[in-house]
Amino acid sequence: MKILVTGSTGQLGSEIKNLEKFYPHYKFVFMDRTLMPLDDINKVWEVLESEQPDYIINAGAYTAVDKAESEEELADMVNHQCVRVLGVWSEKNKAHLIHVSTDYVFDGTSSLPLTEEAQTAPINVYGNTKMKGEVALMTVHHDAIVIRTSWVYSIYGNNFVKTMCRLMQERESINVVLDQIGSPTYAADLASTIMQIINGNIWKGGIYHYSNEGEISWYDFTRKIKEIKGFECDVNPINSSDFPTSAKRPAYSLLDKSKIKKEYNINVSQWDESLRIMLAKL
């Protein structure tokens, strides 16, 4: 059985690559943006036709949230149109597809953890292109799996945790947003969850939510990073209005993980436990 992974040099793709040795009964094909550019749907189809995978993990995406505000066409091509093509090919060739989406499909006005049935209403271009990708995929391939996740970090790539570690070593104080609430996701945990689904005896298509357990702000997250690493830097709480960005962020995007835990018997780690594991590797 062959598993094709897009976005193979990203955070999630790199963590899946680390798991390859534990699944010798699968042949993994890792595709980066040079081998399989997700903004070139003709090339995407060509690669799929050549490789004929049994499973596709779409770990690639356009994720530059602020830049997407001025690059909507490119973001839409990668996050929406390419996803539709992956779905069409998978449906036609009876392949299983797992597509990774985002908490940014929500508007952030909820005060309760968001279930898969919660109304989507993205407030930025990135979130809108990801939402359109979900809709297109579920329209053309009803048995596909969409996993929405949030605040992804890893020892690989650029992410919040690595940025905060660098800043707290360079500066005497930093300001971090207090009024955006959610839960981080250690990419290694998400990679393990995806492989558990593929390697199991159950396949139930649909939308699922996954992040680590707990409810925190970016400020709380940074304070814990400081505590674990023993940095001396002062961490000051600020409101989103004090830190304007090109793209709006959801104020509340905590994901309810009940469905994925029930359907696939997934054990979800606490956010601070996973953070300690990641920082020990960094």
Catalytic residues: 126
Strands annotated E in 84-191? 96-102, 145-149, 152-153, 173-177, 181-182, 185-186
The candidate with the shortest Cα–Cα distance to 253, out of 171, 199, 177, 168, is: 177
What is the three-class DSSP state of 259? Answer: helix
The candidate with the shortest Cα–Cα distance to 77, out of 144, 131, 129, is: 129
The candidate with the shortest Cα–Cα distance to 56, out of 35, 31, 19, is: 31
Strands annotated E in 21-71? 27-31, 55-58
| Euclidean distance between CA atoms 103 and 122, whole angstroms | 9
Bridge partners, residue 99, by sequence: 58, 146
